[in-house]
């Protein structure tokens, strides 16, 4: 039996802040470097970027966590969701690299290590890693969502994590119930507390 894990949940209400991710196409691989904590605000951008690139025909992705000290549960659920979307593509692949011990522990405790391609040996994309320093650009597009959309995003991320295992379903049950009730309560008035 695994020890309980405390996974931080994105605080409510939400505060929009500029994305802290760097992006770029390195050869045929689309690179996303998280330049801050992996949190709800960044997860929205990661999801949007991946969906935009899939629409452009990109099928190879790297999520670079070199500058990401920790991740909240919304970000972790988003990683699972975008990985699922990429895996549906012909030759689709999403690899997570530069994983520190804390982030590896979070992913392993939630079972993401069985679903994501984790490069714990730092052996993947050696040539591309040299290019990253000079070719990535700050992602400047707005990732702003309404409070209702933010709540939907957080709910979807947690439902995605709950799908992984019965343990995760139990772990996130209260969060999911709270978010669903909050969304139901505010769905008619256009607001979300």
Residues 150, 44 contacting (CB under 8 angstroms): yes
Report the top-level CATH class of 21-143. alpha beta
Tell whether the torsion through CA atoms of 133, 145, 61 and 54 is positive or negative: negative
Cβ atoms within 10 Å, residue 113: 16
pLDDT in tens, 52-98: 999 999 999 999 999 999 999 999 999 999 999 999 999 999 999 99
Residues 67, 34 contacting (CB under 8 angstroms): yes
pLDDT (0 to 100) of residue 38: 94
Residue ranges of domains in the chain: 21-143
Task: Decide: pTM greater than 0.85.
Answer: no
Residues 158, 175 contacting (CB under 8 angstroms): yes
pLDDT in tens, 1-59: 334 343 444 433 344 445 588 899 888 899 999 999 999 888 988 999 999 999 999 99
Surface-to-core class of residue 79, CB atoms within 10 Å of its CB (0-12 exposed, 13-18 middle, 19+ buried): buried
């Amino acid at each position: 039996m695994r020890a309980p894990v405390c996974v931080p949940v994105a605080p409510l209400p939400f505060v929009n802040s500029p994305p802290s991710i760097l992006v770029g196409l390195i050869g045929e691989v689309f690179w996303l470097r998280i330049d801050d904590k992996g949190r709800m605000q960044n997860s929205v951008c990661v999801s949007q970027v991946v969906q935009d690139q899939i629409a452009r025909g990109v099928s190879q992705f790297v999520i670079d966590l070199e500058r990401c000290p920790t991740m909240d549960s919304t970000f972790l659920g988003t990683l699972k969701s975008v990985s699922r979307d990429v895996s549906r593509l012909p030759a689709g692949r999403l690899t997570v690299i530069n994983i520190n011990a804390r982030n590896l522990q979070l992913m392993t405790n939630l079972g993401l290590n069985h679903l994501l391609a984790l490069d714990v040996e730092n052996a993947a994309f050696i040539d591309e890693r040299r290019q990253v320093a000079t070719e990535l650009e700050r992602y400047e597009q707005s990732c702003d969502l309404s409070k209702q959309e933010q709540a939907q995003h957080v709910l979807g991320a947690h439902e995605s994590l709950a799908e992984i295992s019965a343990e995760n379903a139990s772990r996130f049950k209260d969060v999911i119930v709270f978010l669903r009730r909050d969304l139901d309560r505010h769905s008619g008035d256009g607001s979300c507390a």
